[in-house]
Structure 1
């Protein structure tokens, strides 16, 4: 056993007392007070049909959308990556927690050897086994702060997984709504193209009979060609959106087309969201904001880790070995404290503390920005929804009026009372109004989806991980 002088013993006793007293360096974490509005500034939607975030997708009552959401979640690279990050964070936390326990290593060896002593030569076989143990005492809370940071990062990665899930659902829903809106526009353009082709044919026959001018014939042909080109462009946009859905769901395109074909090409109708929360509630609603807050807590704990690194560390170390050499058995052991005292490092440890504080300040800035962005996204979605709601009745009246006007002018044109140019102008106005109405209806659903995502998508703090099916068939 090692022998220590009286001053050394007093120092070791003091350090052991510090370790047992639970001294922890670094600031204790408190959620920072970030100013946020007391209420939403934009008009909050309210109507006869409202629902919460949790079961919102079921309110669409759209089997095709429900199947797309299921396919996307069952095989999502973004969610698989988020789950892998959770596993990595848990492994890191387990490794950090193991540092607080003693470490024991063993070794075995064997072989033959010999030695020459004068005229006598000795030889024989030998073997040995040894066991080394070490245990670092957490004098100033370095290990505890490290574990605190690791646990916070596990929670952050879990929040990231929920955020990936909410974002995936919103993205699939948004593309699906765009695709259905695109299909409605294709129908409108196809009807217009067929009508224009009929008009061009009749006008060409009338021109050949000498009853219509060449200008009207050329205008009719040009309008028919323009309508056909617009139809092709719109059809290609639908194909682009279909490719996006294929990528999001990881499904075969043929199967996806079959799923989409089971329901009519119409826009889904979600229930209105019941927005009763206030901006300050977003921390409990948005997983990305909760993740940012957990990263802030981890950065705060790492300040204590860096501060503890500047102070002495105390470990208990021991060795026990047994061996035989040339038939002789021997044993040896040692046990005692090991005190490590930082003397000179050129300011490296001080710089590490400054770096940890800077990392915390950066994480605080990210948290504040994420909170502001969260409030902004909700406010923007509310403004867009309110504007779309107030525009809807006017656009519907406009569409109906232009449609009736075109039908009247078309009858007059067939009777020979107005020119083809007047008919073409009325047709374009009616088509523009119809496209505006379809686009407005599509955007309204998209704004509801944006509000759903901005409010956190039904996620709540401390919500357990739902079981998912990954591409490898594993469950979470």
Structure 2
């Protein structure tokens, strides 16, 4: 009949095996939750290129004064400049995370010169030149998927920052166009009122 002490090595082996299997388990990438309703693939009232707003849609008004106002607003807006800086930071971070997937290579070259006096024996000074070249290659194996997950997360952050920048760009231009058209409408109403008074 086995004693409790004889079962101890068997229990230890089972414990170590379970720990190894737990360590080898990889965490799958989370799937995005499904949408509550099925969205149509395209709008009913538009199709093709009409679904996408042009990058400089305000130029369709063909108004040089409006173009100048929007250009001024886009160049001198602190919030837009901050969004541009954040997009550049996210792009640099994404490139750095993606570079970790590949081997890292470093090289160096060092040179030194040393003079040794000849001493009392009447010998001349000796000069020694030393040159050293080094080549370092390192590569982290993405065994558990950590590096690929970081690269995917960095890419998602960069795409998010880019879309946020585009949204701010379009929103700022829309605000300028809305204010400009409001001024144009007010001027037209003033002219209409003056013409009405003169007619009466």
Using the size of structure 1 for normalisation, the TM-score is 0.27
What corresponds to 1:63 in structure 2?
Answer: 62
Distance 1:24 1:128, change over 3 A: farther
* Residue of structure 2 aligned with 1:106, choices 105, 108, 124: 108
Distance 1:182 1:74, change over 3 A: closer
Could you tell me how far apart the structure 2 residues matched to 1:68 and 1:24 are? 60
User: 1:153 offset after TM fit, Å?
Assistant: 1.7
Q: Does 1:128 align with 2:131?
A: yes
Distance 1:108 1:173, change over 3 A: same
* Residue of structure 2 aligned with 1:142, choices 143, 146, 159: 146
User: 1:28 offset after TM fit, Å?
Assistant: 0.7
User: 1:136 offset after TM fit, Å?
Assistant: 2.1
Contact 2:104 2:137 in 1 (8 A): yes
Could you tell me how far apart the structure 2 residues matched to 1:72 and 1:110 are? 60
Contact 2:73 2:172 in 1 (8 A): no
> Residues 71-220 of structure 1: matches in 2 within 5 Å?
72=70, 76-77=74-75, 82-100=83-101, 101-112=103-114, 114=116, 124-131=127-134, 132-187=136-191
User: 1:181 offset after TM fit, Å?
Assistant: 2.6
User: 1:188 offset after TM fit, Å?
Assistant: 6.2
User: Which structure's relative contact order is higher, taking Cα pairs within 8 Å and 6+ residues apart?
Assistant: 1
Q: Which secondary structure does the structure 1 equivalent of 2:132 belong to?
A: strand
User: 1:155 offset after TM fit, Å?
Assistant: 1.4
Could you tell me how far apart the structure 2 residues matched to 1:81 and 1:27 are? 35
User: 1:148 offset after TM fit, Å?
Assistant: 0.8
Distance 1:30 1:110, change over 3 A: same
Structure 1: runs of 5+ lacking an equivalent: 1-22, 40-45, 196-406, 408-476
Could you tell me how far apart the structure 1 residues matched to 2:145 and 2:29 are? 12
User: 1:147 offset after TM fit, Å?
Assistant: 0.9
> Residues 3-18 of structure 1: matches in 2 within 5 Å?
none
Distance 1:30 1:112, change over 3 A: same
Structure 2: runs of 5+ lacking an equivalent: 1-23
Using the size of structure 2 for normalisation, the TM-score is 0.55
Q: Which secondary structure does the structure 2 equivalent of 1:32 belong to?
A: coil
User: 1:178 offset after TM fit, Å?
Assistant: 1.4
Could you tell me how far apart the structure 2 residues matched to 1:112 and 1:60 are? 70
Contact 2:113 2:129 in 1 (8 A): yes
Could you tell me how far apart the structure 2 residues matched to 1:188 and 1:94 are? 59
Contact 2:106 2:137 in 1 (8 A): yes
What corresponds to 1:359 in structure 2?
Answer: none
Q: Deviations over 1:220-256 (max 9, x none)?
A: xxxxxxxxxxxxxxxxxxxxxxxxxxxxxxxxxxxxx
Could you tell me how far apart the structure 1 residues matched to 2:71 and 2:30 are? 35
Bigger Cα displacement from structure 2, 143-152 vs 130-139:
130-139
Distance 1:182 1:81, change over 3 A: same
